Copies of this chain bind each other. A is one copy, B any other.
């Protein structure tokens, strides 16, 4: 590993983060919440420290190796999460270190779990920063999952190698830069569109911006204690539903659609399954909650469509308390928590694609029992998936379940009841946000003991970085020359 290169990259990252943080200052000045000095202090420190490290250590001719890339991704996410916690502390919004770090990582990993019981009392600039961490995290994730992880071969993401047209494909730096630019354009287009639509639908401009950040990043931080439920507006619900669903689809498909190839969505098996499961789950829930106090048919359809989208895309916004719904709805939503959205989107969870491949693998093994000597290729979108990718995906799911079991056990040992522990682990590892029972939609994570918060922070990070990106740093081999 080239330590110098890694340090330079982290320096640049922090300096850029400082510059982006400056977008919170106008909000502070606009509403006069008195936090602009606190923000300026953090911004200047970030730019000076990060910039200095970058300019001292940078080496424009160096090429990144595999280990450098792993280190930059994981350590980069860690640094950004830690630095992002500073505004919460200096503004006095979250005085304890653990809570600030929890909220910051929850933002950057687009999880949306909060330690705050009363969100609305936060200064506007802090609320903006909180939502901005989602949006930036979402940007990071898109590039990570479409451009970086495929090159690193993490969790079967190699399947998406070079799906986006790019001038150079054999070198990490230019490929990543080109892909990032392309996808970020798409991300910005959707961002502008949703802000405008929400504003037109009656949300004020500040809230439109913050909720757009939370939607497109599948984050879930709101500026209201009642989340989207605050607005009681079916029109706003529908806008948020549509953009949550958009955010849960592979962004390379959006790129293709925006450049004229609208059929790309339907040609992708993963996207088809995602939409079919979404439709089926919504219909099932709508049918089950009919007559249980969620209003008439249209109100019930709205609520089931919203909640299913929110959980499938791992956003975590709410318009109702689905823990009062019939058990069958709850069980279905919990299983969807594990699945998550499409690979290459901002959604978390295991991703539809991986489950498609597991399903096909299971069916193939059935056929192999009847024809033991047959060679049966596993295909996705008419292309053969290599055994290496299948192995990688199966290992990913194994690791996911392993982390899930251990994390839940640790929480339960800390004397948290089983349902809350299961909910908290799932909601953080899948980057959803609200969990079950005492960390449900109507509750915060604030009451949890400090060790539990750190376990959940760990879950958010490993869940977001597709597990292997983090765990690879824990293998002794990684640090050997």
* Interface of A toward B, CB cutoff 8 Å: 66-67, 70, 152-154, 326-328, 330-332, 335, 358-359, 361-362, 364-372, 387, 390-392, 394-399, 402, 405, 408-409, 412-413, 415-418, 421, 468, 471-472, 475, 477-478
Contact = CB atoms under 8 A, between A and B. Distances in A.
A358 B402 CA distance: 10
When all copies of this chain in the complex are counted, the total is 2
Given A418-B330, A472-B370, A477-B371, A365 B335 contact: no
A372 B66 contact: yes
A415 B152 CA distance: 46
A328 B468 contact: no
Contacts of A152: 369
B365 A395 contact: yes
Nearest to A361: B395
B369 A154 contact: yes
B335 A405 contact: yes
A475 B365 CA distance: 11
Contacts of A327: 412, 415-418, 421
Given A418-B331, A421-B331, A398 B361 contact: yes
Contact of A361 (B366, B387, B391, B477): B391
Nearest to A419: B419
Contact of A366 (B326, B408, B475): B475
A399 B67 CA distance: 35
A395 to B, nearest CB: 4
Contacts of A358: 398
Given A370-B475, A475-B370, A365 B392 contact: yes
A367 B405 contact: no
Contacts of A367: 475, 477
Contacts of A472: 366, 369-370
A370 B152 CA distance: 9
Nearest to A436: B418
Would you list the 6 A-B pairs with minimal beta carbon distance, nearest first? A365-B395, A394-B394, A328-B413, A331-B412, A358-B398, A327-B412
A418 B329 CA distance: 11
A111 B153 CA distance: 42
A328 B326 CA distance: 27
A476 to B, nearest CB: 10
Contacts of A398: 358-359, 361-362, 394, 397
B409 A335 contact: yes
Contact of A331 (B370, B396, B409, B478): B409
Given A370-B67, A398-B358, A365 B468 contact: yes
A413 B325 CA distance: 12
Contacts of A416: 327
Contacts of A326: 415
A478 B358 CA distance: 21
A332 to B, nearest CB: 7
Given A66-B370, A372-B153, A477-B370, A409 B365 contact: no
Given A330-B418, A331-B412, A394-B394, A399 B369 contact: no
A471 B366 contact: yes
A286 B471 CA distance: 32
A376 to B, nearest CB: 11
A362 B402 contact: yes
Given A328-B412, A331-B408, A369-B468, 4 more contacts: A327-B415, A330-B418, A331-B418, A394-B394
Contacts of A477: 367, 370-371
Greatest chain B CB density within 10 A among A365, A368, A417 is at A365
A4 to B, nearest CB: 20
Contacts of A413: 328
A362 B402 CA distance: 10
A362 B409 contact: no
Contacts of A362: 395, 398-399, 402
A478 B368 CA distance: 11
A366 B468 contact: yes
20 contacts: A66-B369, A67-B370, A70-B369, A152-B369, A154-B369, A327-B416, A328-B412, A330-B412, A331-B412, A331-B421, A332-B409, A358-B398, A359-B398, A359-B402, A364-B395, A366-B472, A366-B475, A368-B392, A394-B398, A397-B398
Nearest to A477: B370
Given A362-B398, A394-B394, A418-B327, A478 B370 contact: yes
